[in-house]
Amino acid sequence: MGENINWQEVYQLAESWIREAGRIIKETIESPIHVETKSSPDDLVTDKDREIERFLTEKIREQFPDHHIVSEEGYGDRVNALSGVLWLIDPIDGTMNFVHQKRNFAVSIGVYENGVGRVGLILDVMTGDLYHVVKGQGAFFNEHRLPQLHAGELEKAVFGINATWINANRRIDPEILRPIVRKTRGTRSYGSAALEMAYVACGWLDAYFTMRLSPWDYGAGLILIEEVGGVFSHADGRPLDLLKGGSVLVGKPGVHKAIVEMIQAGLANGKYFREELE
């Protein structure tokens, strides 16, 4: 399989579904939201996350019954291999923003074939901005083709990082990150990993770092970033596993390299880094 898939057609269907998903959310944005917490008080899910995931998974299954789906809220499949076509779906990325701000959240769809990113879409629901890519055909912010990223330098970088990681936490020694943050021009945190990765693809952020993401958070973002010559890995430079998740560092090649080197230097100095914590 593979050679027969028309990725442009897959893109067009995915675009119509993501836009419909965006319309459904936007139309009901002022309605009361039913919010529940999952693993912790800051891990939120709403009836909308579930409704949108159900909508998208039904569309995919109807159209592509032999494709597999990995998604956040339980409507996907149990997938443990990258063979065939895999859809990585986050129905609402930035649920906390959705609940607290009614803005700065996204729907994210990434489509992979045998582990190779083919089609990616990230819709900023409230602005209607669509970040999209078909591998080999360019990455786009709405109708604007994104230029290739240049190497970049840490000293001139705007770094996407949440304050969690430079304060006491279980996963990474804040002493690893503080010197990195000090070196950059500044930091930003938007609360939607998908949008933050889209911003890296657009060159608006020079890198984005987090210690804990799942495949649906970065499925689309990685494809966008790869298309414009950006780089991604786990925080310490190891290659990312598409099905497993964990720490994620994406960025312009030079900025990514500088951050990895500083993280590795921290590890060599005995600082802690716990990727595997639940």
Nearer to ligand IPD by Cβ, of 162 and 184: the residue is 162
Residue number, 190 or 254, with CB nearest to ligand IPD: 190
Contact call for residue 154 and ligand IPD (CB under 6 A): no
Give the interface segment with Ca ion, choosing from 85-93, 120-128, 173-181, 240-248 (CB under 5 A): 85-93
Angle at 18 between CA 30 and CA 194, to 5 degrees: 85
- Which of the ranges 20-28, 53-61, 114-122, 185-193 carries the binding residues for ligand IPD, by CB under 6 A? 185-193
Alpha carbon distances (Å) from 177 to 206, 214, 263 = 16, 21, 7
Residue showing the smallest CB distance to Ca ion in the complex: 93
Q: What gap in Å lies between CA 119 and CA 76, rounded to an integer?
A: 18
Closest separation in Å from C-beta 201 to ligand IPD = 16
Q: How far is residue 174's CA from residue 272's CA, in Å, rounded to a whole number?
A: 9
Cα(255)–Cα(233) distance, integer angstroms: 13
Rounded to the nearest 10 degrees, the angle between the axes of helix 47-63 and helix 7-27 is 150
* Residue 46 makes contact with ligand IPD by CB under 6 A: no
The entry of Ca ion, ligand IPD, none that residue 210 binds, CB within 5 to 8 Å by partner kind: ligand IPD
What's the CA gap between 64 and 87, in Å, rounded?
10
Q: Are 131 and 202 in contact (CB under 8 A)?
A: yes
Smallest separation (angstroms) from ligand IPD to the CB of 1: 30
DSSP state of 96: H
Under the binding rule (CB under 5 A), the answer on residue 72 touching Ca ion is yes
Stretch that binds Ca ion, among 137-145, 167-175, 202-210, 216-224 (CB under 5 A): 216-224
Instruction: Tell me how far, at minimum, the Cβ of 110 lies from Ca ion, in Å.
Output: 12
Angle in degrees, 0-180, between the axes of helices 174-183 and 253-268, rounded to the nearest 10: 140
Q: Minimal CA–CA distance to 235: which of 251, 211, 204?
A: 211
Interface region with Ca ion, contact rule CB under 5 A, candidates 35-43, 154-162, 169-177, 210-218: 210-218
196 near Ca ion, rule: CB under 5 A: no
212: partner contacted, choices Ca ion, ligand IPD, none (Cβ within 5-8 A by kind) = ligand IPD
Min separation Cβ 70 and ligand IPD, Å: 13
> Read out DSSP for 130-163?
EEEEETTS-EEETTEEPPPPP---GGG-EEE--G
The token duo for 251 is 């960025």
Site map 80..99 versus ligand IPD, x via CB under 6 A? ----------x--xxx----
Neighbours of 23 (CB within 10 A): 12
Residue 198 tokens read as 């889209």
- Contact between 110 and ligand IPD (CB under 6 A)? no
Q: Which stretch binds Ca ion (CB under 5 A): 58-66, 82-90, 138-146, 230-238?
A: 82-90
H/E stretch holding 55 reads helix 47-63
Q: Does 217 bind ligand IPD (CB under 6 A)?
A: yes
Residues at the contact surface with ligand IPD, assessed by CB under 6 A: 90, 93-95, 162, 191-193, 210, 212-213, 217
